[in-house]
Amino acid sequence: MRSLASAPSALLVVGKFGATIHVLHLVPEDGAIERFSLTTPSSTFRNGGATEQARQQIGLVTLHVGDGETTTNFLNDIEARARKLWNSSLSLSPTRSVEVIQLVQNVLQPAALDVIREKEGRDRSMNATQMYPVFVVHIARSRAEYDTRESS
């Protein structure tokens, strides 16, 4: 019997596993975009009912932290691009249900790679810089996990 409690999804993760990571999650069921940061105690992503199934590093980004650039700025840029790509892909395919693989290939990864390339093409900062690995992480999660309200 197939369980309806598990749903596939994908995250964009910035940072090193085993330390603080910054996450952008496009929720396939409703088009919401979630963002959060957390310190991971291990190299495998686990949060709430979500568990990592596969991971692919898609690039490295150098942020000019000495000039005030943060992972939040980086994810803001990716989120804006992802929203545009997602909206245009929904207009091409009006079905509300979006396959996770399509979401990664058509929205999440292209948005992230565009912003990474944009950052690569600029002049070096005279102040401190920090390199961050960027990953696409496929997860299995409970459908209810994206609802952040606590149940009593």
pLDDT of residue 45: 85
Query: Residue 43 belongs to what domain range?
Result: 6-146
77 assigned to some structural domain: yes
pLDDT of residue 91: 62
Q: Report the domain count for the chain.
A: 1
pLDDT of residue 148: 39
H helix intervals, 53-140: 71-92, 100-103, 109-120
Between the two ends of the chain, the Cα-to-Cα distance in Å is 29
Per-residue pLDDT of the chain (152 residues; tens, 9 = 90+): 344 457 889 999 999 988 899 999 998 888 889 999 999 877 788 888 888 999 999 999 999 999 999 999 999 999 999 999 988 876 655 454 568 888 999 999 999 999 999 999 888 888 999 999 999 999 998 764 444 333 33
152 assigned to some structural domain: no
Q: Which amino acid is it at 137? A: V
